[in-house]
Amino acid sequence: MTEPLRWRVREDPPASAARNMAVDHALAVSLPSGMGVLRFYRWAAPTLSFGRNEPTEGRWSTAALSSEGVEVVRRPTGGRAVLHHRELTYAVVVPAGGPGSMRGLYGRVNAALVRALRAFGVAAELAPRQARAAPPDAGPCFELPAEGEVVAGGAKLVGSAQVRLEGRLLQHGSILLADDQPRLGRLAAEPVSVSDGAVTSLERCLGRVPEVAELIEVLRPALAEGLGGDWHCADTEHTLGESLLTRLEAHYRSPTWIWRR
C-alpha cells in the first residue's frame, strides 16, 4: 500500500519568467521520495509563455515584445501561448504514480480548483469534451478550453498544462484575476485574437479583482482535500539547491530554448 504523500506549500514572491520556470522544474527533479509540493507564484513582469512544442517562428514580434516590456519564456509543459500578468499561477508536483496518472492528477487538481472557486462565489465548472483536441499551433491557450479545464459561463478561466520530468509529474496553470489575453494581438507578427466569450476572469465573474491572499486562502484547503495526504508540515519549506536553480534559469532564459520551434 502506497504511503500518503507529505506535502509542502510555497508562496513565492513575483519573479522573472526564467526563474519561475526554473523553480517549477527544480521542484520536480529534486522532489524527495514520498513528498508533494504545492506552489503559488506570480510574475515580476508581463510574460508571454509558449508550450513546450508550440511553433513560434515568425509568429511573434520581438519589437513589440520589447517596446511593451513583455518577457518571453518557453514552459517545460505542453499547451499554447499564455500572457501572464494579472493572475495567480499554481504548480503541483508529485511522484509519477501518486496520486495517480497524469490524467488522474489533472482531474483531481481541476476538480479541486472548481470547488474552491465555487466557494469563492464563481460559477466554475469543468469543460466538456471537445470534438478534437487542439494542436500546439491552434492559437492562444485561452482561445479554447480543453476537456476538463476550468471554465465559468462556458468561458475559460484557468489554463493548465503538465509534463513528466525524471519520474515526477508537474502540473501548473494560470488563474486569471483579470483578462489581459487580448493584449496578445499587439505582440503578434501575424493576426492573433482571443474571441469574445472565449475567456473570462475573476474580475468579470465577481465584479472586482480579488486579492491574491484571499484567493490562496480558498485554494489551499480545496487542493489539500482533493489531493489527500499529510498536510501537517505544509509550511515547512522544500529548499532548492542554488546551483540547480542557476543552471535551469540559464536554460529557460536561452533564446535557443525559447525560440527553438
Assign 3-state DSSP to the chain and report helix, strand, coil percentages, each to 5.
30, 25, 40
In terms of Cα–Cα distance, which of 75, 149, 152, 76 is closest to 118? 152
Catalytic residue among 141, 165, 170, 258: 141
> For residues 227 and 222, what is the distance between their CA atoms, to the nearest angstrom?
9
3-class SS of residue 41: strand
The grid coordinates of residue 148 equal 476538463
Residue 179's CB is within 10 A of a number of other CB atoms, namely 21
Number of H helices, E strands in the chain: 8, 10
Q: Within 39-144, where are the H helices?
A: 62-67, 102-119
Cell 520581438, residue located: 62
Residues 149 and 109: their CA atoms lie apart, in Å, by 10
Active site residue 141: yes
Write the single-letter amino acid at 14: P
Catalytically annotated residues: 141
